[in-house]
């Protein structure tokens, strides 16, 4: 048990660093939980709990550095929460195999588009709040909150890309806002997993502490190095999540 906990703490520490920079840390943390034999629902719940703690830490650090736009998020956050709540509870009519194909295609598009668009996300070109970008942001928050509730693979990647596309943020500002939206969406999932007894706090709490440390390191790196650090990691994680989904479909 001690060896398993040490392994999880190390794996989740590095996942928090990556996730706080570009999103996609779940492809490191969740498989780590499953690898040591934790049942899937308990792994999902415990992973959500630990991720929620690290996302909160990262959100606070981004907010203190004025990389979070609460004037925009006050419209979006309620829909992140509502979407995640619906996503956890609703039984989907679409088969997961079809959904995985759709997500795989979208992730490949996001990764490759970001890779070959030289200037995307490197400069902050946000101008003003408008009814159009608020409406688009609400749609983004609701749909990705819902998606995060029942699947969640690459949700941080989609959020960052969406915020860059809608508001013309650079990657640093998009990452800051993404973390707050992630955190609010995760609260809904954590509450439901907790009510169902699907969180292992005995291992979750020490892992959460390690992830908070990792999130602080990753956020500091993102704030110091800026978009030129975030973009290549963002592209790498986008394509990595796509490869993982493809691998899961093949085996």
Question: How far is it, in rounded angstroms, from Cα 165 to Cα 220?
Answer: 24
The distance of Cα 178 from the centroid of its chain, to the nearest Å, equals 7
- The sign of the dihedral angle between the CA atoms of 218, 169, 140, 249 is negative
At residue 91, the pLDDT reads: 41
How do residues 143-191 score in pLDDT, each as one tens digit?
A: 988 888 766 767 888 899 999 999 999 999 999 999 999 999 889 888 8
Q: Tens of pLDDT along 212-240?
A: 999 999 999 999 988 888 888 888 888 88
Least confident of 52-61, 105-114, 121-130: 105-114
- For the cut 90, the answer to whether the pLDDT of residue 201 exceeds it is yes
Residue 92's pLDDT band (boundaries 50, 70, 90)? very low
Max CA-CA distance within the chain?
A: 53
CA 105 to CA 102: how far, in whole Å?
Answer: 5
Query: What's the half-sphere exposure (Cβ side, CA atoms, 13 Å) at 154?
Result: 27
User: Where in the chain are the domains?
Assistant: 2-250
Q: How much is the pTM? A: 0.86
pLDDT of 28 reads 84
- Stronger pLDDT, 149 or 32, i.e. the higher one: 32
**pLDDT, position 44:** 83
Task: Determine the Cα–Cα distance for residues 194 and 197; give it in Å rounded to an integer.
Answer: 5
- Distance separating alpha carbons of residues 62 and 70, to the nearest angstrom: 12
Residue 5 has pLDDT above 60, yes or no: yes
């Amino acid at each position: 048990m001690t060896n398993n906990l040490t392994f999880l703490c190390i794996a989740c520490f590095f996942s928090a660093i990556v996730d706080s920079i570009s999103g996609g840390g779940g492809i490191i943390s969740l498989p780590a939980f499953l690898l040591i034999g934790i049942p899937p629902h308990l792994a999902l719940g415990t992973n959500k709990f630990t991720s929620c703690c690290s996302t909160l830490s990262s959100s606070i650090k981004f907010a203190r550095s004025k990389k979070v736009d609460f004037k925009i998020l006050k419209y979006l956050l309620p829909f992140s929460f509502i979407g995640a709540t619906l996503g956890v509870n609703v039984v989907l009519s679409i088969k997961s195999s079809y959904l995985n194909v759709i997500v795989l295609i979208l992730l490949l598009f996001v990764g490759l588009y970001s890779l070959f668009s030289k200037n995307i996300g490197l400069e902050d070109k946000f101008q003003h709040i408008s009814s159009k970008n608020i409406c688009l942001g609400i749609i983004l928050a609701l749909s990705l909150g819902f998606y995060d509730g029942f699947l969640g693979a690459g949700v941080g990647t989609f959020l960052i890309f969406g915020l860059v596309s809608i508001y013309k943020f650079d990657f640093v500002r998009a990452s800051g806002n993404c973390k707050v939206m992630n955190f609010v969406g995760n609260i809904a999932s954590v509450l439901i997993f907790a009510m169902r007894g699907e969180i292992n706090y005995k291992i979750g709490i020490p892992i959460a502490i390690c992830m908070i440390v990792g999130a602080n390191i990753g956020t500091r790196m993102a704030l110091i190095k800026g978009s030129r650090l975030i973009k290549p990691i963002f592209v790498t994680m986008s394509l990595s999540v796509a490869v993982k989904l493809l691998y899961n479909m093949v085996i």
